[in-house]
């Protein structure tokens, strides 16, 4: 049985060191870590495909967080089943052990529990994406109506920003810890938090206006 680690960062500008350190501390050998510098929109990535060729029955694949595999939960579920059921390889997620497939929990197999958990995560991720898109569109419309000018397009928020934001707002992470989770400086993370909350407030105004108009 061999343990392999997989790392993904969205571009060459992002640093994989935080994920590397987590995998090394988890006991993964450096030579067994595969890294892609690509978007998580699909699984057509050279190092991921090389890793898939390397995996054998009984091996373990370790990632720091589920979004390091990808951003599209439909594709993640498909790959998850290929890895676990076709290749007979276990998966361990450092930041979310409930997804580990090789643990027995009160008589139930880890694969069953992790598969159910993944399905739930997929549902909420899809719902969250749709909600964010809707609220962003409505917020931008309100902002433009108020004369707000939009400058150069900002860089997209890094993967995992919503999770880091919620942990910060719930007091479970300091601003520095939350920023580190997504590879941002504390000042940049805090600025994007304020931008998000300003947009949320504008969206709330939209909802209030709809209710007042009976819509």
Catalytic residues, which ones? 10
* Cα–Cα distance for residue pair 133/178, rounded to 1 Å: 23
- In the sheet that holds 3-9, the strands lie side by side as 33-37, 3-9, 60-63, 90-93
CA distances 54 to 43, 65, 136, Å, are 16, 21, 42
In 3D space, the residue among 157, 164, 8, 26 whose CA is nearest the CA of residue 76 turns out to be: 8
Q: Tell me how far apart the alpha carbons of residues 85 and 79 are, in angstroms, rounded to a whole number.
A: 10
DSSP for residue 28: -
């Amino acid at each position: 049985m061999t343990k392999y680690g997989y790392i993904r960062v969205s571009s060459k500008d992002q640093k994989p060191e935080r994920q590397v350190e987590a995998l090394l501390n988890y006991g993964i050998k450096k030579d067994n870590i595969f890294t892609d510098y690509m978007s998580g929109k699909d699984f057509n990535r050279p190092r991921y495909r090389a890793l898939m060729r390397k995996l054998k029955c009984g091996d373990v694949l370790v990632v720091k967080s589920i979004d390091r595999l990808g951003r599209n939960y439909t594709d993640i579920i498909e790959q998850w089943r290929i890895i676990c059921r076709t290749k007979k390889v276990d998966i361990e997620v450092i930041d979310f052990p409930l997804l580990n497939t090789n643990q027995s929990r009160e008589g139930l197999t880890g694969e069953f529990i992790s598969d159910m958990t993944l399905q739930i995560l997929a549902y909420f991720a899809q719902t969250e994406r749709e909600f964010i898109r809707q609220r962003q569109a409505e917020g931008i419309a309100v902002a433009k109506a108020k004369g707000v000018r939009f400058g150069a397009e900002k860089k997209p928020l890094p993967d995992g920003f919503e999770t880091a934001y919620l942990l910060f707002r719930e007091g479970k992470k300091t601003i520095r810890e939350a920023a580190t989770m997504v590879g941002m400086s504390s000042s940049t993370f805090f600025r994007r938090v304020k931008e998000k909350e300003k947009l949320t407030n504008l969206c709330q105004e939209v909802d209030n206006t709809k209710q007042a108009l009976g819509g």
